[in-house]
Every structure is written in structure tokens, then in C-alpha cells.
Structure 1
Amino acid sequence: MRQPAEVAAALPAGTVLVVYHVLPKRSIAWTLRRDAIRMQVLPVGVRDLEEQVRALRRSIVERSADTQAASRALHKLLVAPLGLREGEMVVFVPHKSLHLAPLHALANDRGPLLATNAVAHALSVSAAGESLAAPLVSAGALLALGNPDLGDPDLDLPAAEDEVRAIAKLAGTSAFVRREASAARFRSASPGAGIVHVAAHATIDEVDPLYSALKLAAGDVEAREIYGMDLRNARLVALSACSSGMGKVSGGDEFWGFKRSFLVAGAKSLLVTLWPVADESTARMMQSFYRHRDSVTAAEALRRAQLEALRHPGEDAPLFWAPFILVGDWR
């Protein structure tokens, strides 16, 4: 296991690792840069933080007028004390309820954090160190599955089909849709793919997240099955599905769900969502992400795609532009 000082020394210039630890009556944030490690005590404990994160998430999903105030309150508690520098690459290591918080969307008078900083997440300090130690290789072939035929027209996702077709066109390949977007194809083709993109429905089991499932044609793929797959070729797995980044935090702060299952299987990074997503706005954002990805880091590509979504007419609410987070290798 890599130690914090070792990870800090390996951080590129212009990158800061923010490590939270939530305690009963207060919280602690460490900021790790290659030349310094700093500790900050934050005046918020586990129960109050859970309530504030839950309230923010609820206000976002309901498009409530309370969203801005809730976002600013959490920014003041969690981000403002850190002394982040404009333009820094910010990698968060969340703890407890912060695994479910849209930290990139927390705002002050200047706007959301992502207006000035690219943001990614790591499951632990050691995981961030492993990402940095891994060789930076170009992504291989794209596997794009979208709008699987689930046998019920009410479950069709036409914008998801447009999404994967457009992404595949950018990559010079073909997408698999409807009956071809099957569980069997996912199982057989994912191990050889450099990018795996799934635009489909997902079900999240909050009692036992290992039974969370991607809903594909002719069958489901559950999180527990993904643990046993070999996805070491996958530079990126994108789950363009409702709440695909949700799961359960164990007593030891192990996060169980799709995030852990894909990373354990060998995927280098994940794009997942924190709440139910809108079909058409998500399709536009994902196409924008891949257009930018060829010229900038994954984290910066997501930042640019989200800012473009924020500026889209009628979609300036975080519900539309802020659901996605990048977990794992941010390069």
C-alpha cells in the first residue's frame, strides 16, 4: 500500500489530492501536493454532513429553489478552506457520505468548482498512487452498447441510441444497439476493448450493491459478476445510466457498487452518475466528452463537456450538467 508522502511526491505539478476523513463531531481534510502536505480541520461532523449531502442531492433531483443555498453551504464547509488554486487538477478521495456528493458542482460566488478546476475522484490515496504509477497508454478499440431491447417500449432510450452511434462514428467504428446491445456481447467483447461505453438502464440495489445491474438485451450484468471479469485493457468504462455511481459505504468506508467492481476488474477509470439522468442532455454531454478527449485529459474533457451542458438553453440546473463524475485515472 502506497503511503501518502510517497503519493504526494509522485503527483504532477499543478495537481492536488484532497483526502477527507469524516469524524463524529468534525472532519479533517488533507491537501497533498508534490511539495507539501497540509491538514485542515473542518467544523462539520458525520451526521450533519450526511443530512446536508442528502438535502443537496434531493434539491438537485427535484430542481428545488434550495439547491443554490445547499451547494454554497457545502462549498463553504468542504472546499473554501482548502486553498485550491485556479487551474489545479483536483483529485478528491471522499469519505462516508461524500462518496455521494457532487463535489465538482459545489459553488461559491464565482460559480461551481469545475468552472475553475478539472475534478476527479479516487477511492483511496493508495488507488490514486496506483493510477499515477500505471503507464499512460492510448485507448484501444471502442465497445459502444446503447438502447438495448428490453422487450418493453416504455423502456426504450432513443437518445441513448443516438449517443452511442455518434460516439462510435467519432471512433470510426460501429455501435451495438437494440438486440445487439446484449449481455452476452458485453461479456465477450469488454475484455478486449480499450473503451467500454454503455448507454442503458441500470438498477441500483442499495441493500446489496453487488446485485446492482446493467439492463442489457437478453439479460442483466450484475456488479458481482463484473468483479470476475478481466478488464485490464479498458482505459475507460463509461456507464451512461441512471445513478450508476451509487452504492453503499461499508463501516470501513469501502464503497460497494459499480465503481469498485469495474476498478477491481482492471478498468483504469470510470465515468458514472450520481443521480437519474436526462436522456437527451446526457447524450449531448457524452458526445462532447469524446470530442474533447482526443486533445486533453479525461478530467479536463469532462469539465469542458459539463460546462458546455451548463450553458445549454434550459439546462443550467445541476440535474442536467452535473451528474457525471470521473473515478480513477484522470489523465
Structure 2
Amino acid sequence: MRGSRGYLIEERAVSYAPSASAYVTLLGRQKRMSNQILALGNPDLGTANLDLPGAQHEVEEIKVQFPTAEVYVRQQATRQRLLQSAANKDIIHLATHAKVDELDPLYSVIHLASTEKGSGDLAAHEVYRMALTENSLTLLSACDTGLGQISKGDELWGFTRAFLSAGSSSLLVSLWRVDDAATAHLMRNFYKNLKTMTKVEALREAQLSLIRGEGRSDLLARRGVGGIGKLGESPSSLGSPASEGDRAVAPTQPLATSHPYFWAPFILVGDGQ
């Protein structure tokens, strides 16, 4: 939202709730974070076209800032790893592709690496069976993970409701295709800020960093690495989101990370403290 004085986020930290009743419930779940982090990124999905070097850099940066974090990439970033290790973590971070099923959001999937035991796809309806009572924050650094259908209870069905129902106090999700390199920059700053700020303030400051243009050097340095589009392409030329929820598309002509395309897709849902 942009008014005559600029963007709302330049004046206020903003968080969201699926519904008023859900917000009351989530406020009662406030949990003290002990930096027990599980992060999976850039899983091996069987084709180089789906590789996300920026997502791998994103989760490896978490390990730099939080040495005790459990970080898994490529073949180790599996569905089984997530299901086995998530229960006692207060932060879960997934940096990968996702596919939203607009007809039945409960069958939307997050793509993780497969194993000989089975597929790496994690469906939203499976998340309901996860025990995430220790989880303060889940970050879904994939595309369209915040989307879903409105239920009769005015809540969004999909990943958001699934993780909140499983016990998460809050989620950081995306609303459209995200740029691989800009997302890595935002997430690095988010975790840095999280050491001294609330979740909602940490996200706001990370987004303001992009608005100020501080992510431009990252995008330039990672050109050809993060799958960024050609110079001169703009967000308006991208068309509709890809069916596979691809991360990584194009920067604006002057690599202006102040454009909402780069910083606005991520929102915090739930307890912002």
C-alpha cells in the first residue's frame, strides 16, 4: 500500500491473521525462541532447471549467523528429514519451489528432494499431522505459499492454515513468484535483525533494506548465479505466476530493488512478537 507519503511499511510494521478468532488463539501461543533452527534449501529435484543457488546461499547464511542451526541442501533436503526433525525446532525454514493447487489448496505441495523411499513432495494436508507445538516461526521461502481458498470460517486453506493448525505461532509466506537473489538478501537481513528485534520488526527492517536499494549489489553480484532474468526486464513483463511456483525471475530495468515486486511478496501471519 502506497500513499502520498510513501509505503505503509515505511511507517508501520505489519502482520496478518487468517481471522479474528485465529489471531486470539495465536496470541496465546507466544513462545520464547531458543534458536533451534531447521533449514532446508535448494533440494535436488532431478533437473538443473529447478536448481536454486540463491536458496542454498540463503540457508547456508543461516548457519553463519546461527552456528547451531541444522541446515540441509541438495540431496539431504528431503521430506523425510523435515518430518523427522521439525518437532522440537522453534524455527523452520524451507527455501524451495512450491506448487499451489487453486482448486484444492490442501493438495498444494512443497517440493523437497526425493529418496528411494518415496517422493519429496510435502502436501499441505500432510502438515496437519505434524507436531509443531514448539514452533514459533515457519518460513516458507517459496512461491505463492500464502495463497489459499477462503473457508466458511473466513480462514485461508492451504499452507498457512496447515502450519498454524499443526502448532506454529507464525509464518512468513509469499504471495507471488519471488526473485531468488532478492529473497536471499531479505532473508539474510531478517535473521540478522531477529537477534535483537521482534519477528514483525525484523521483517520490516529487512524489507526497508531493499526499499533503500541495499540489495542491488547482491543482485548484480549474483547475476548468472541466482537465475535472474535479463537486464531490462521488468515485473510488468513477467505475466502470470508459473504453474510450478518458480522462484527466480527478473529484476527491474535499473535493478531497482525498491520496487514492491522484490520486497513485498513476503508477509508475516500470526504472532509478530
* Amino acid corresponding to residue 217 of structure 1 in structure 2: A
| 169-178 or 319-328, which deviates more | 169-178
3-state SS of paired residue (1:188) = helix
What TM-score comes out, normalization by structure 2 length? 0.80
Gapped regions of structure 2 (runs ≥ 5): 115-119, 217-255
Contact 1:237 1:267 in 2 (8 A): yes
Q: Match for 1:226 among 97, 116, 127?
A: 127
CA distance in 2, matches of 1:167, 1:263: 23
CA distance in 2, matches of 1:136, 1:183: 25
Sequence identity (%): 46
Q: What's the offset of the Cα at 1:254? A: 2.8
Q: Which has the higher contact order (CA 8 A, sep 6+)?
A: 2
* Amino acid corresponding to residue 61 of structure 2 in structure 1: A
* Alignment root-mean-square deviation, CA: 1.2
CA distance in 2, matches of 1:192, 1:141: 8
Q: How does 1:143-182 map to 2 (within 5 A)?
A: 143-173=38-68, 174-182=70-78
Alignment match, 2:272: 330
CA distance in 2, matches of 1:133, 1:142: 22
Structure showing the higher helix proportion among its residues = 1
Q: Match for 1:209 among 105, 111, 116?
A: 105
CA distance in 1, matches of 2:106, 2:140: 16
3-state SS of paired residue (1:175) = strand
* Amino acid corresponding to residue 105 of structure 2 in structure 1: P
2:14 maps to 1:119: yes
Q: What's the offset of the Cα at 1:135? A: 4.4
Q: What's the offset of the Cα at 1:251? A: 4.5
Contact 1:142 1:168 in 2 (8 A): no
Q: What's the offset of the Cα at 1:253? A: 2.2
CA distance in 2, matches of 1:148, 1:116: 37
CA distance in 1, matches of 2:138, 2:19: 19
> Residue by residue, what CA displacement relative to the aligned partner does 1:240-295 show, whole Å, maximum 9, x if unpaired?
00111111113442310100000000011100001000000000000100100111
Contact 2:93 2:141 in 1 (8 A): yes
CA distance in 2, matches of 1:183, 1:202: 13
Contact 1:233 1:266 in 2 (8 A): yes
Alignment match, 1:304: 205
Q: What's the offset of the Cα at 1:317? A: 1.2
3-state SS of paired residue (1:120) = coil
Alignment match, 2:183: 282
What TM-score comes out, normalization by structure 1 length? 0.66
The number of aligned residues is 226
CA distance in 2, matches of 1:309, 1:220: 32
Contact 2:137 2:168 in 1 (8 A): yes
2:160 maps to 1:259: yes
Q: In 2 relative to 1, CA 135–198 (structure 1 residues): closer, same or farther, beyond 3 Å?
A: closer
Contact 2:26 2:169 in 1 (8 A): yes
* Amino acid corresponding to residue 72 of structure 2 in structure 1: F
* Amino acid corresponding to residue 176 of structure 1 in structure 2: Y
Gapped regions of structure 1 (runs ≥ 5): 1-105
